[in-house]
Structure 1
Amino acid sequence: MDLMDIILEGECSSELPKRHNEVYIKRFFPKDDVHEEELFFTELEVHTSIEHDNIVTLIGFCVEGFEMILVTEKCSNTLQEYLGNVRTMRTLTWEKRLKICIDLAHALSYLHSEMEEKKMIIHNNINHHRFGWDENLVAKIDDFEFAAFLPPNQNDEVLCKRTNFESKYHVDPEFEKTGKLKKESDVYSFGVVLLEILCGRYAFDQSYLNESEKGLVHVARQNFCNGTIEEMIDLILKEETGIKSYNPNRGANKDSLHTFMKVANQCVAETQDHRPTMKVVLDELKKALIFQVCEVRLCMYS
């Protein structure tokens, strides 16, 4: 079944959609921008090709003249709203942050290597705007308008010239320089988000720009090489880790932190060949969670 068959089936279907408390309505304007129609159909094709617990669900769409609309489920919390806000970040314990990261890694690993018929999707626009989670702390990825499909037996890259990026601080430098988009480009962008979650600040926070015009990644790399990466950890996590014997459910286990920081640093390696796959990233994040959960249980029963 091709995309047009899916569209016609969707227009003719009389089934009532599952109810959602909140939805996200996204309008495209092909009349004003010739690229908008392509972006609409790219995102629609992604949503009709995948089904995953950690990817937002398509609820409906409209194609009528110049009117193109997608309706998807809306997460009640977004990473964008939390970063840099002391009050909201304080509600995210280290264990919660790990679980959010693991959910997102699950989604990217699925897109990169676990789809049927060995197809691959590169998201191509990963940053803190793309991530959110519901009231049950199930994290999800959205917005696939810049996604790239790689069919079976094709080289693991695609030429994709883009000049406008929502956040240049999340863009793979090798992709930006060569135009060669690979799944490692998503890995880099995800690594930036991991560092943002670790540090509790946006990648373009002024404190990082004061040290380097490249922002968080460049500063984190330098600190990692100097053995001072722990100095960049979110102050809230530092405080909670320092008193974890009194509040084990909030404090961060050292082994858990180090495992997380190591894989985040590997994700943002300068060259694509030196970055891990999302499967490896997912396994390391799970390992970090195991260290954390075991520490909490030991504190509870000691």
Structure 2
Amino acid sequence: MADESTLYRAELHCFDKENSSSEKGKNIGEHPKAHNIVVIKRYPSGNEWYGVEEFFTEIEMLTSIKHPNTVTLIGFCIEDSEMILVIENVSNGYLRNYLINENDMRILTWEKRLKICIEVANALEHLHSGMEDQKMIIHRDICSYNIWLDENWRAKIDGFGTCVFLLPNQEDEALYILCRGRGAYVDPEYEKTKRLKRESDVYSFGIVLLEILCGRAASDPIYMKESDEGLGPVARHNFFWTGTVEDMIDPILKEETSEYNFVLKRGPNKESLRTFMKIAYQCVVETQDQRPTMKVVVKELEKALSFQVS
């Protein structure tokens, strides 16, 4: 599944509301202007997965969620078949782009990767249990396509068009709803039974953790040769059955830990890697009820970071 939006970066010339009072030497009513770089997402008409309903769901979610690790909605437009969202500028692009380019992945040291994971995990924990009025949200499309990186490498979750609200009394219940998501990221229990729980997001996030660990996209041909479901089943097999999950670690990270590496980068600490791999595996177990909550995931990722920086 893909929303197939077309992305543009634009500079908007707009009034600066914070400095709208008249200044000496300017005519009354003449306001200083601000130049803002934004991202414009344009959705084509007739899209199989993304229509008017998803467009308005995304607007509703983005106006309801206030978190530093979700994208900020600036404006929108719908006219005839045109549907456009204007969001904050996230100048370092999608996480997905780094996973498919080895040179770009070299930018992301282990410490930086851990911080990205923690930020996404914090945002997901907020959706699952930290919303006002006891609202809870299941994202349903967590993947590296929907994680942006801003100019400071802060992670921002995007892609809220297929989200669903849970009522407070549904906290531990499942919704039975049409399966949505992108192949390798979809919770296998949700796909088989249409049983959607917050743990479905946990599975998808676990796949993102594995992508960051392995330095490859979940649907990379190297994984698709072993399983038509991609990275998840391959990692489970290597972790549980063969004990060779270390062989899947991004070679770039292994270079950083080499005794012959004199680049001013500190490679992954062994305890940090072990803690990270363990929680990633727990996230992608096949049974929903055996997966951790996002609160537990955040705690373990922060532990992995503390091993790394201490």
Q: Under TM normalisation by the shorter chain, which class is it?
A: 0.7 to 0.9
Letter in 1 for 2:175: V
Which region of structure 1 is more displaced relative to structure 2, 33-42 or 192-201?
33-42
* Mapping 1:1-302, distance limit 5 Å: 20-27=36-43, 29=45, 36-77=51-92, 78-155=94-171, 156-162=173-179, 165=181, 167-225=182-240, 226-243=242-259, 246-247=262-263, 249-294=265-310
* Cα shift at 1:289: 0.4
Structure with more helix by fraction: 1
* Cα shift at 1:239: 1.1
CA shift digits 1:112-165 (9 cap, x unpaired): 000111110110011110011112111110010000111222253222113x64
Cα 1:248–1:293 change in 2 (3 A) is farther
Which region of structure 1 is more displaced relative to structure 2, 181-190 or 223-232?
223-232
Letter in 2 for 1:193: V
- Is the partner of 2:83 in helix, strand or coil? strand
Q: State how far apart, in whole Å, the 2-side matches of 1:271 and 1:108 are.
A: 20
* Cα shift at 1:89: 0.6
Letter in 2 for 1:146: T
Letter in 2 for 1:170: Y
Cα 1:263–1:146 change in 2 (3 A) is same
* Cα shift at 1:16: 5.4
Letter in 2 for 1:124: R
Cα 1:201–1:35 change in 2 (3 A) is closer
CA shift digits 1:58-89 (9 cap, x unpaired): 00012445443221123222211100311111
Q: State how far apart, in whole Å, the 1-side matches of 2:198 and 2:183 are.
A: 18
Cα 1:159–1:19 change in 2 (3 A) is farther
* Cα shift at 1:214: 2.4
Letter in 2 for 1:282: V
* Cα shift at 1:277: 0.5
TM-score (structure 2 length as normaliser): 0.83
Letter in 2 for 1:182: K
Q: Over the residues paired in the alignment, what is the CA RMSD in angstroms?
A: 2.3
Q: State how far apart, in whole Å, the 1-side matches of 2:160 and 2:49 are.
A: 18
Q: State how far apart, in whole Å, the 2-side matches of 1:41 and 1:142 are.
A: 14
* Cα shift at 1:15: 8.4
Which region of structure 1 is more displaced relative to structure 2, 265-274 or 134-143?
134-143
Gaps of 5+ in 1: 1-13, 295-302
- Is the partner of 2:307 in helix, strand or coil? helix
Identity level (%):
56
Which region of structure 1 is more displaced relative to structure 2, 91-100 or 212-221?
212-221
- Is the partner of 1:153 in helix, strand or coil? helix
Kindly tell me the number of residue pairs found equivalent between the two proteins: 278
Cα 1:20–1:176 change in 2 (3 A) is farther
Contact 2:139–2:201 (CA under 8 A) maintained in structure 1: yes
Gaps of 5+ in 2: 1-14, 19-33
Cα 1:28–1:183 change in 2 (3 A) is farther
* Cα shift at 1:47: 0.8
CA shift digits 1:202-235 (9 cap, x unpaired): 1111111222222211111111122211111000
